[in-house]
Amino acid sequence: MRINYNYIKFLALIVVITGLYAFSNQRSAKRNVKGITIEFVENQNLFITEGSVNKLLIQKFGSLENLPKEKLALNNLEKAIEANKMVKSAQVYLTVSGELASKIIQRTPIGRIEGDSKFYLDEDGKQMPLSNSYSARVPIITGRITDEGLADVYKVLTYINTDEFLKKNIIGIHIVSEEKYQLRFRTEEFIVNLGDVERLKEKFSNFKAFYAKANKDKTLQNYDVVSLEFDNQVVCTKI
């Protein structure tokens, strides 16, 4: 009977590789967490700090440093971080060097509500608490704060953030009543009556055309109220 030595060598190689892989996994599982690193992605303004995240994890799970890796439930760690209302999403993983790493994406505020309750409205239209670590420079929302009104305000804020001129100059939205909104500008004294939130593109296009001409004519300071409520026109009240 002829022995196929190549086949035997191949089987032996498979056994050795499998053994080394299992041994490596066993050693890796027995290693302890060497440290914790936290990285905030996409936003340099920290509404929640690294220290706050560490404190949150310690309160929930105790000290994680030197904890055996097999005792870690990464999914539970992610859920604990994402439970913080400043956090949009979190990814937790173990590095090759044995560190527990977390990448965190914060929520992004686009407006600040100043009413009986004070909070941010974020880019998804959800309420976000104010932070002790950082105050965002976003338009201030005042007036009659209701769920319906905030839904409309969210539409206006979303549109404002698509236009650099509006984003730079609009500093406030006042809710007079549902379907009646006013805008405040950074350097101008006049009030802009927006009306409802329909035809926003048309209204703001008309306003920008008016603003460019009035600015060229140096007459912006002559106006008390600028109304965008009427179809395809800007109606102004002089001081």
Quick: pLDDT tens for 43-61.
678 999 999 999 999 888 8
Please enumerate in sequence order all residues whose Cβ is within 8 A of that of 225, keeping only pairs 6 or more positions apart, or say none. Answer: 190, 191, 192, 193, 236, 237
Instruction: Give the residue-averaged pLDDT of 17-35.
Output: 57
Tens digits of per-residue pLDDT, 121-132? Answer: 999 999 999 999
pLDDT tops 50 at residue 62: yes
pLDDT at 211 over 50: yes
pLDDT over 60 (residue 195): yes
* pTM of the predicted protein model: 0.80
Give the helix/strand (H/E) hosting 120.
strand 118-122
* Percent of the chain topping pLDDT 70: 87
Q: Judge whether residue 27 has pLDDT over 90.
A: no
DSSP string covering 90-108: EEEEE-TTSEEEEEEEE--
Split at pLDDT 50, 70, 90, the class of 231 is: confident
195 φ, ψ to 5°? 80, -135
Q: Is residue 221 scored above 60 in pLDDT?
A: yes
Higher pLDDT, 124 or 24: 124
Q: Which of 199, 200, 191, 194 is nearest to 224 (CA)?
A: 191
pLDDT band at 33 (very low <50, low <70, confident <90, very high): confident
The confidence score (pLDDT) of residue 21 equals 47
| pLDDT tens-digit map of 112-157 | 999 999 999 999 999 999 999 999 999 999 999 999 999 999 999 9
Query: Residue 23: pLDDT above 60?
Result: no
Q: What is the DSSP string of 28-83?
A: HHHPBP-EEEEEEES-SS-SS-HHHHHHHHHHHH---TT-BGGG--HHHHHHHHHT
Closest CA to 171 of 142, 139, 194: 139
What separation in angstroms does the CA of 102 have from each of 13, 39, 41, 81, 200?
Answer: 38, 6, 10, 9, 40
